[in-house]
A and B are shown apart, each in its own frame.
Chain A
Amino acid sequence: MNLKLMLSASLLMAAFTAFSQSETKEKKPRVKPTRSQSTSASDRVNQRDRPHPLKPARFISEWMTPSSELKFNNLPYAYNALEPVIDSKTVEIHYDKHHRGYYNNFMAAVKGTELEKMPISRIFANISSHSSAVRNNAGGFFNHVLYWQNLSPDGGGEPSGELGKAINSTFGDFKTFSEKFSEAGKSRFGSGWAWLAIDLNTGELFITSTANQDNPLMNTAERRGIPILALDVWEHAYYLNYQNKRADYITAFWKKVNWPDVEAKYNGYKDMREEMKK
């Protein structure tokens, strides 16, 4: 693999940073991030999510991770840390049952196959040629990692920096953006996700939604992109507290969005589009 591809995958795998604390056994190249913005945004995340800092070095070790070596790591906060927006019982079952189930099933699905050594981004880029067990569980594992990272007990407010500017220039202003994103979450019929993603072709931010555990990295997506903000609208994400009132869950969601994390993802991924198409 060439260095550029390795670096791009490393940035993508930052999504796993907070969950992947295991020491990497293989020898990894030590490459410093090339983008100062990425570093500073990551530092801001450091301050907010102390138990699982987004160290740039992690970007490097994690992107090399073959799928079979991915770990199911701790939540970056307590189960009750997102109360009252998301109740403790929901977070516990969601993380410990649903998310863990996807992880275990994903590991089982790749075991003994060529996918064991493949980074998950490459699996997504060719998802149409894999089984539904791989598609559903790779998606379920990855999407929830993003979701948990995108939330914080200290969340809320609005994005700043490059991401704030990009949101304003793409959507007009933050209010318009948040309304469109909320609408994508509300109008996804059945189970699925709403996303803010970086278009793989143009680099523009866009809002989309996908069914079930699909995501915009999959080559089956209507519009392909690198997701930086994830909203789970499966009923299991909110039913215990909100029941049929998905709109109320979405309204509350904004109070816990971890914008420094979303910014770090934006800064880290925005110039990596070509590599992510492969």
Chain B
Amino acid sequence: MKFEFAELPYAYDALEPHIDKQTMEIHHTKHHKAYFEKFTAALNDSEYADKSIEEIFANISKAPAVIRNNGGGYYNHNLFWHCMSPNGGGNPTGRLAEAINQKFGSLDEFKTKFNEAASNRFGSGWAWLCVKSDKSLSICSSANQDNPLMDVADCMGTPVMGLDVWEHAYYLKYQNRRPDYIGAFWNVVDWKSIGERYERLISQ
């Protein structure tokens, strides 16, 4: 399977002041790109070369660390960029809004739980909003570049929203204040894109 390293769907400074230009640029052109390059290099001539990334993740416990770490890093950042937008913020609408209210009580309660997952992840990792196999929503977090599609994950599901809480995602602007970064994320969160992913998944 051929994987590509895509441009961001917006300019590096488009999320200012919530996420600064330098962070976005280094995050995309250095961190994300390195994951992509190491992942595709590891795939070459390997037994994984013809597999989809979902297939690889579903059996990641048997894969070498270079595939797990870099495949995760490649996929997770692709999703992350599409969870934010210069026109983000506000509230979800449609079926996603209904599902969030039904599962968590309200958007505020959902945010509180998601913030906790992101704040409490010790070390490097991600917080996720997932659709489980029974189509219900679930919040969880994972270490390093793991994600809920991997068979090693504590909570399994398909992520529709991911928040990177590696220090590289926020350190230049927020340093040790991870909660401030998490708070700022809600100002740029792209509910439209997240809602579309959700609707696709529950329609399958």
Contact = CB atoms under 8 A, between A and B. Distances in A.
B196 to A, nearest CB: 31
B175 interface: yes
A175 B106 CA distance: 59
Contacts of B172: 239-240, 243
A190 B124 contact: yes
Given A189-B69, A244-B26, A244-B31, A93 B123 contact: no
Given A93-B176, A212-B123, A190 B144 contact: yes
Q: Number of contact residues on A: which range applies?
A: 20 to 34
Closest 10 pairs (CB-CB, A-B): A235-B167, A191-B123, A190-B124, A212-B123, A190-B144, A244-B30, A97-B176, A239-B171, A191-B124, A235-B168
Interface string A223-254: 00000000000111001100110000000000
Nearest to B120: A132
Contact of B122 (A132, A235, A236, A239): A132
A244 B176 contact: no
Nearest to A191: B123
Interface in B79-135: 122-125
Contacts of B167: 191, 234-236, 239
Given A101-B176, A244-B34, A189 B144 contact: yes
Given A93-B175, A97-B176, A136 B26 contact: no
5 contacts: A191-B124, A212-B123, A235-B124, A240-B172, A244-B34
A235 B31 CA distance: 12
B176 A136 contact: no
Interface of B: 26, 30-31, 34, 65, 69, 122-125, 143-145, 166-168, 171-172, 175-176
A192 interface: yes
Interface of A: 93, 97-98, 101, 132, 136, 189-192, 211-213, 234-236, 239-240, 243-244
A275 to B, nearest CB: 30
A68 to B, nearest CB: 23
A139 B68 CA distance: 27
Nearest to A244: B30
A93 B65 CA distance: 32
A97 B175 contact: yes
Contacts of A189: 65, 69, 144-145
